[in-house]
Structure 1
């Protein structure tokens, strides 16, 4: 490879390292072109999979400040440069390696931190970003529903709860007045429940 071509290849690899949130180094010895194409296709949404030259990759990694692949760039190498969900990319590599044992996951880097092959497999066992966001949204919706219920409660009901709490504090004297806020909140909640039940009986 001519020097200008080497420089261009190094610059391209350096840019890929810098623009990727994660990268996984693999050895593909024995895989066919068709199998590599299949792997690229399965990773397309989350990563680009590129066959690389070890010497040029070593230089590019050093320029990009990546040390995770030091000593591992041997044999026929290819790197998954991950720009999407790293969990989904790790799943794709792990699943492909299970079906095609000739693909060897050697290590990786995630947000600048080195990952071993075992850590990449553990990453693949995590839930995807979409699943986690869906669970978070569900939890938030549940909390919002409770908040809406409280805000929708009649003002008269809220006033009765406050009056009941104030009367209880006055009856029990100064010691009770100094009780923790958490205890007061529990009393308010109990009074609210009793009030709602009473309201239902009246109807």
Structure 2
């Protein structure tokens, strides 16, 4: 790789590290091409990306970014999972690592917060941003539904009382 290519790659990675909601550092040794392709596909479906990196270039790219503290994680065969949603990349990588022991989660960063393997797995267990939005909308709609039920209940009760009196009159 020529120096200009390396500089371009470092610049690109620097932008990725600076803009990412979460960065997850993994060891991928032993994964074959089919497994890596499957992982990349799963990551893309979740709105994240997975990229094999050169350690020295990644360490250079981390300089001046909020995630600079994770530079020591880049030893051995490393790859990074990145997403804007803080839950997307950790969720896919944790699930893949659970099913395939060749992928090892080393740690990562969410903004300036350095995360160990446990922190990444804790993020993976959180509901996604879309799920949280759905729950909030559901909570907001619930009071309106209950108000409608309460307001319609008196009319329904009157109708049931009249129907019961009519049945009593027919029985007599």
Q: What TM-score do the two structures reach when normalised by structure 2? A: 0.81
Contact 1:68 1:108 in 2 (8 A): no
Equivalent position SS for 1:97: helix
- Shift in Å, 1:47: 0.9
CA distance in 1, matches of 2:88, 2:8: 30
Runs of 4+ in 1 over 3 A off after TM superposition: 145-150, 199-203
Residue of structure 1 in register with 2:25 after alignment: 25
- Say which one has the larger Rg: 1
CA distance in 1, matches of 2:36, 2:66: 28
CA distance in 2, matches of 1:100, 1:121: 15
Equivalent position SS for 2:97: helix
Q: CA RMSD in A?
A: 2.5
Indicate yes or no: 2:109 matched with 1:97: no
Matches within 5 A, 1:1-203: 1-44=1-44, 45-83=46-84, 85-146=85-146, 200=158
Equivalent position SS for 2:135: helix
Q: What TM-score do the two structures reach when normalised by structure 1? A: 0.69
CA distance in 1, matches of 2:147, 2:113: 41
CA distance in 2, matches of 1:68, 1:108: 9
List alignment gaps of at least 5 residues for structure 2.
163-172
Residue of structure 1 in register with 2:165 after alignment: none
Equivalent position SS for 1:63: coil
